[in-house]
Chains A and B, each alone.
Chain A
Amino acid sequence: MNEDVILTIQHCLAGDEDAWNAFHREYSGIAMAFLRWKFPAIIDDHDDIIQRAFTNLISSGLKNFKGITRYEFLPYFKTIVRNEALRCIEDQKRRRAGSLHNEQSESEDGSPMLDIPDPDAGSRPDRRAEAREMVALLAKALKEYALIDQEVYLLKLRGYMDKEISAILDIPMGTVAVKYARMKSRLRDKYDGLS
């Protein structure tokens, strides 16, 4: 990966077309790898999502980036691509909801037919308090164990498969399975809430 992405960004902002071309050639590939990894169900939309993400970058995203290292740019870039992917999914849901609404807007008992997620669910005080307690419990439980064991456990909790964790952490798949089983068993014995 290009170490000089910050310099490339500065050149892009100064109007250097070659810098822009170098930038999008490198980062469009990273965006594609990310979308294949995290959003395989919308593979037909990957090109459009990448195009929208780069439109965002050239119109304001690069200018708004305040970091000074590629380690800051990578998560920033990922957030832009992920937001475009989520927007694409929401648009699809809305279109589907619209077409269903035209056919039949309510079930027989009068309740809405579609399961539209509550966008404010995460900010509800009860959910926040519960999640806060869970994080405190998890943090307390994990700190006794080796860093690699914690990484495996956290990635597993966040829904990653053994194959993916093996790739991210660069350890054999068998090791992932053993470490996770061991962590799960230890934590189950110690903390009821984390089984």
Chain B
Amino acid sequence: MDELKAKITDAFNNFDDLKTPACLDAKTIGMLAENKLAEKEMAKAETHIQSCLYCLGQLTEMKEMLYLASEAEPVSPELEKKLTKLFSKHDRKD
């Protein structure tokens, strides 16, 4: 099982070519993850994902990020201050 996990991790780290022209775009994946697609589009997207490992991986990653976004809490006031200061430090002329 560990060996299989390592191989799958390898595969996902290295195979952008898993993606095909038929693959779903990020917006469709996101809307599917949040159940915001219309019924017909939802069925079409699910049919594709069911046989596409690349999009299945994208869907699980999107669900993970949406979950984390829902769990986000404010950072410490010290860090917040540092992040605020970055704006004035940054030279935006470029």
Contacts and interface: CB of A to CB of B under 8 A. Distances in A.
A, B assembled together: yes
Interface of A: 1, 15, 17, 20-21, 24-26, 28-30, 32-34, 37, 47, 50-51, 54-55, 58-59, 67, 69-72, 74-75, 78, 122-123, 127-128, 130-132, 134-135, 138-139, 142-143, 147, 150-151, 154-155, 157-159, 167-170, 193-195
Nearest to B1: A195
Interface residues of B, number: 55
7 contacts: A20-B86, A30-B65, A71-B62, A131-B14, A131-B15, A157-B8, A168-B67
Contacts of A55: 86
Nearest to A34: B68
Contacts of B86: 20, 24, 51, 54-55, 58
Which A-B residue pairs are the 7 nearest by beta carbons?
A71-B30, A29-B72, A131-B11, A143-B51, A24-B83, A131-B10, A33-B68
B14 to A, nearest CB: 5
Contact of B80 (A28, A135, A142): A28
B56 interface: yes
Given A74-B65, A142-B53, A33 B73 contact: yes
Contact of B9 (A28, A158, A168): A158
